[in-house]
């Protein structure tokens, strides 16, 4: 284009030069140079909670969402309307239609709570699942977390035309160019993803197969100019997928878009460990062996669950060291009746509130660990602070097979050791690991949890490893997946947190589509997407949320405990995860009602998200709203009635946990006067902040 500009300046005829310059401006605004595809018709969103008025855009509940009608008149339950496509006038029943927003129309979202799972009541960490079309959910997330997201992992539809799974994998109609519609869809979402990611240091991870990887690569380069982009080939099905007159496909691709100072951390995964004869490879420093608390901390680990793991550890009062380990107590035996050796006290696995829990090992195993130096005690001179630690089986194996060198013994005869120096290489661009097999570690894991409800999920460990390369050094990372599918990403984040003690938070977004076959059956039975019979079979409610609940609580869909451990760890699947999650549906509000303050109840979850999703999402009674909400457990506060500001200010300043403040006032001057003493906190003016700064438009 710069060459054209230079040539235009050489045109001596001023009239002609201006006309050509004008045409070039038009050309630049409409024509892509690089990846070329046609813009598609606007996407449409059903607005289930928005009332139908004159001039509203509506669609039939039982028809296609893009078959639109403009309302011209409403009389009782009858509406007169004009079909947008051809101008045909008709009369419809109000109960048979739904309000619709087109791509680019201003809409005002809220989050309707549907369910929660809480397996860590003492933790403020809450994950979230949002049931929604992902475009509008991304616009909401941009308002909430613009420029703050550490990692986005997505597995978008591959545009193969398949309709046999819960996420419609076809974005092409018969008359479409094979790639155009898919590219238009993904471009809109990637542009919003860019706005979400931290420009200083973040990562976008996108999986894809051969149908669209070329076009996706070009699109990523256009949108994320200046980012370091690499594509990895990963083997997901070693036996291959047979196709007529084609090579059998064993792999797919992963794009890593490294933004700002994003760093690949090769030392944080054992996937690519090499021998010491490799040259020019960064050397890993020697690492001390890590001890783990012997007392189990899961909610389900109570004395009655495993009687052989409730026993006394006798500690010498003079030395503060373990004297011996007693036998397990039966359920009828009282711990206070145990005979204690001379000059010793008995240490039992107890929670701070006195609840009797479990040691992590059978008493005979604990005796064996103690004899070998694989068990020790800390703070043994203080019975209230004493902690028994042990070496997990994986580290014991490393000691006994020579990967760890014993450098000494402590006062308890416990081993002191370091891992032998190893050399790690940067991961290669072809991954071929058994743990990444999508059948054994994707489909079979999901089947164990919820049965045959979803086809072709990702390997749990493939997602875990891809994330780990970039969030290993970010224990508090915010991770988003807006093509959530079966929910593998949240499962992988929980596994990462369990493995390294991290506090990473994950937000999933998925629509609630049903499969093509189910849709036909439901329509045959005269159900529409607005009906409960339809919604309960959608991917969000039938697959994603059940998986989240089952994986966190450690049981299958029928409540039976899960069998086995997670690969490469001694984490039993039946223990679940110390994690919490909330399930929401994205809906849309009438802006006039919002301005009048009639929908604060609906907006409260949005405020909870904006404040960081910490603690359980609060609720209120819209009919009996308080003058203020002081929520230290959620780290935020809301002033609903500015007449009570003095009391509000006093209470907020007394709660150090509160770092986010929302003030409802129409006065800009009043708002700025009220926040002058909150300089160390993040403040927002409602509802103006919502209606003006958060107005959603394409």
Quick: pLDDT tens for 136-155. Answer: 899 899 999 999 999 999 99
CA dist., res. 605 & res. 49, Å (int): 16
Instruction: Say what the pLDDT of residue 81 is.
Output: 94
**What is the arithmetic mean of pLDDT over 300-317?**
91
pLDDT higher at 302 or 43: 302
pLDDT at 698 over 80: no
pLDDT tens column, 331-355: 999 999 999 999 999 999 998 889 9
Residues 6+ away with beta carbon under 8 Å from 469: 264, 265, 266, 268, 269, 427
Question: Is 70 exceeded by the pLDDT of residue 95?
Answer: yes
pLDDT computed for residue 428 by the predictor: 86
| CA–CA separation, 576 and 549 (whole Å) | 9
d(CA 466, CA 455): 21
Distance CA 93, CA 63 (A): 14
Alpha helices by DSSP H, 106-179 = 134-145
pLDDT digits (tens, 9 = 90+) for 220-258: 999 999 999 999 999 999 998 877 888 898 999 999 999
Q: Quick one: pLDDT at residue 164?
A: 47
- Rounded mean pLDDT of 438-454? 94
pLDDT digits over 103-140, tens only? 666 778 899 999 999 999 999 999 999 999 888 899 89
User: Regarding beta strands 478-481 and 660-664, do their DSSP bridges make them parallel or antiparallel, or are they unpaired?
Assistant: unpaired
Tell me: the pLDDT tens digits for 356-372? 999 999 999 999 999 99
Q: Which CATH architecture has domain 110-270+427-582?
A: 3-Layer(aba) Sandwich (3.40)
2 pLDDT more than 90: no
Q: Count Cα neighbours of 136 within 13 Å in the Cβ-side half-sphere.
A: 29
pLDDT-based confidence at residue 612 (cuts at 50, 70, 90): very high
CB 628 within 8 A of CB 648: yes
In the CATH scheme, what is the code of domain 44-105?
Answer: 2.30.30
- Of 47, 131, 166, 43, the closest CA to residue 510 belongs to 131
Counting every residue, how long is the chain?
A: 698
pLDDT of residue 424: 56
Q: How far is CA 186 from the centre of its chain?
A: 19
Start-end of H helices in 630-692: 645-654, 668-674, 688
Q: How confident is the model at residue 178 (pLDDT cuts 50, 70, 90)?
A: low
- Residue 286 pLDDT more than 80? no
pLDDT at residue 38 tops 70: no
User: How do residues 568-581 score in pLDDT, each as one tens digit?
Assistant: 788 999 999 999 99
Q: Where are the alpha helices (DSSP H) in 537-641?
A: 539, 545-553, 591-595, 600-610
Q: Which two tokens stand for residue 586?
A: 């994205």
CA distances from 343 to 206, 377, 635 (A): 62, 17, 47
pLDDT at 464: 95
Angstrom distances, CA of residue 389 to CA of 39, 316, 354, 366:
61, 16, 20, 10
- Name the maximum alpha-carbon separation found in the chain: 110
- Reduced 3-state DSSP string for 322-359: EEEECCCCCCCCCHHHCCCCCCEEEECCECCCCCEECE
pLDDT at 284: 46
Higher pLDDT, 245 or 681: 681
Which pLDDT score, from 0 to 100, does residue 695 have?
58
The DSSP-derived string for 7-45 is HHTT---HHHHHHHHHHHHHHHHH--SSS-----PPPEE
φ/ψ of residue 418, rounded to 5: -135, 150
What's the pLDDT tens digit per position in 485-523? 999 999 999 999 999 999 999 999 999 988 878 888 998
Q: Is the pLDDT of residue 382 over 60?
A: yes
Average pLDDT over residues 45-68: 83
Of all residues in the chain, the percent with pLDDT exceeding 90 is: 60
Instruction: Check whether 272 has a pLDDT greater than 60.
Output: no
Q: What is the pLDDT of residue 24?
A: 78
Q: Is residue 650's pLDDT more than 50? A: yes
* pLDDT score of 172 more than 70: no
Rounded to whole angstroms, how far apart are CA atoms 102 and 85? Answer: 14
pLDDT for 175 equals 46
Mean pLDDT of all residues belonging to the chain: 87
**Higher-pLDDT residue of 169, 300:** 300
- The token duo for 678 is 């909150």
pLDDT at residue number 28: 66
Q: Three-state SS string across 218-255, please?
A: HHHHHHCCCCEEEEEEEECCCCCECCCCCCCECEEEEE
Pairing of strands 127-131, 201-208: unpaired
- The 3-state secondary structure of 649-663 reads HHHHHHCCCCCEEEE
pLDDT at 161: 59
pLDDT given for residue 481 in this prediction: 98
What percent of the chain lies above the pLDDT cut of 70? 88
Spell out the domain ranges in the chain.
1-31, 44-105, 110-270+427-582, 292-419, 614-693
């Amino acid at each position: 284009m710069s060459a054209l500009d230079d040539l235009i300046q050489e045109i001596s005829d001023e009239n002609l030069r201006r006309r050509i310059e004008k045409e070039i401006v038009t050309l630049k605004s409409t024509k892509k140079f690089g990846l070329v595809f046609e813009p598609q018709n606007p996407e449409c969103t059903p607005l289930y909670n928005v009332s139908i008025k004159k001039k509203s855009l509506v669609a039939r509940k039982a028809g296609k969402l893009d078959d639109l009608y403009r309302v011209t008149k409403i009389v009782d339950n009858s509406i007169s309307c004009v079909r947008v496509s051809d101008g045909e006038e008709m009369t419809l029943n109000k109960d048979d239609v739904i309000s619709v927003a087109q791509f680019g129309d201003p809409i005002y979202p809220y989050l309707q709570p549907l369910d929660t799972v809480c397996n860590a009541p003492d933790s403020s960490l809450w994950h979230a699942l949002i049931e929604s079309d992902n475009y509008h959910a991304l616009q909401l997330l941009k308002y909430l977390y613009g420029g703050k997201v550490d990692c986005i992992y997505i597995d978008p539809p591959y545009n193969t035309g398949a309709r046999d799974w819960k996420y419609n994998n076809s974005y092409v109609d018969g008359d479409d160019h094979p790639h155009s519609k898919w590219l238009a869809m993904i471009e809109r979402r990637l542009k919003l993803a860019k706005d979400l990611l931290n420009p200083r240091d973040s990562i976008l991870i996108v999986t894809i197969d051969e149908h669209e990887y070329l076009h996706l690569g070009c699109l990523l380069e256009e949108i994320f100019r200046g980012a370091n982009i690499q594509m990895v080939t990963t083997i997901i099905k070693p036996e291959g997928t047979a196709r007529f007159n084609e090579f059998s496909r064993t792999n797919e691709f992963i794009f890593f878009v490294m933004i700002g100072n994003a760093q690949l951390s090769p030392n944080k995964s054992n996937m690519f460990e090499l021998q010491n004869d490799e040259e020019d490879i960064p050397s890993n420093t020697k690492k001390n062996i890590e001890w783990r608390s012997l007392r189990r901390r899961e909610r389900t680990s109570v004395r009655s669950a495993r009687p052989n793991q409730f026993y006394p550890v006798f500690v010498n009062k003079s030395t503060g060291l373990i004297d011996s380990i007693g036998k397990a107590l039966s359920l009828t035996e009282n711990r206070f009746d145990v005979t204690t050796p001379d000059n010793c006290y008995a240490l039992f696995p107890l929670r701070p509130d006195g609840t009797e829990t479990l040691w992590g090992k059978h008493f005979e195993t604990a005796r064996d660990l103690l004899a070998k130096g694989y068990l020790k005690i800390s703070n043994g001179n203080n019975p209230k602070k004493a902690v028994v630690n042990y070496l997990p089986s994986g580290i014991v194996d490393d000691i006994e097979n020579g990967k760890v060198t014993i450098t000494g013994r402590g006062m308890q005869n416990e081993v002191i050791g370091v891992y032998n120096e190893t050399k790690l290489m940067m991961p290669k661009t072809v991954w071929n690991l058994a743990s990444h097999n999508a059948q054994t570690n994707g489909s079979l894991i999901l089947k164990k949890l919820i049965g045959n409800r979803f086809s072709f999920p990702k390997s749990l460990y493939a997602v875990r490893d891809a994330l780990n390369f970039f969030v290993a050094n970010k224990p508090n990372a915010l991770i988003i997946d807006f093509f959530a599918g079966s929910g593998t990403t949240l499962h992988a984040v929980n596994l990462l947190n369990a493995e390294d003690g991290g506090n990473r938070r994950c937000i999933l977004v998925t629509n609630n589509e049903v499969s093509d076959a189910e849709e036909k059956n439901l329509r045959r039975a005269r159900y529409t997407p607005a009906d409960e019979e339809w919604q309960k079979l959608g991917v969000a409610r039938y697959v994603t949320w059940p998986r989240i609940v089952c994986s966190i609580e450690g049981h299958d869909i029928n409540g039976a405990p899960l069998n086995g451990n997670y690969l490469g760890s001694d984490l039993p699947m039946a223990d679940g995860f110390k994690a919490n999650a909330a399930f929401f549906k994205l809906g849309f509000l009438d802006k006039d009602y919002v301005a009048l303050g009639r929908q604060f109840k609906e907006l409260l979850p949005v405020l909870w998200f904006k404040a960081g999703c910490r603690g359980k999402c609060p609720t209120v009674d819209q009919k009996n709203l308080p003058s203020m909400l002081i929520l230290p457990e959620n780290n935020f506060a809301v002033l609903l009635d500015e007449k009570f500001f003095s009391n509000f200010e006093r209470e907020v300043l007394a709660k150090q946990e509160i770092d986010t403040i929302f003030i409802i006032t129409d006065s800009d001057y009043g708002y700025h006067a009220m926040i002058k003493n909150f300089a160390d906190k993040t403040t927002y003016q409602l509802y103006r902040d919502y209606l003006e700064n958060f107005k959603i438009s394409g």
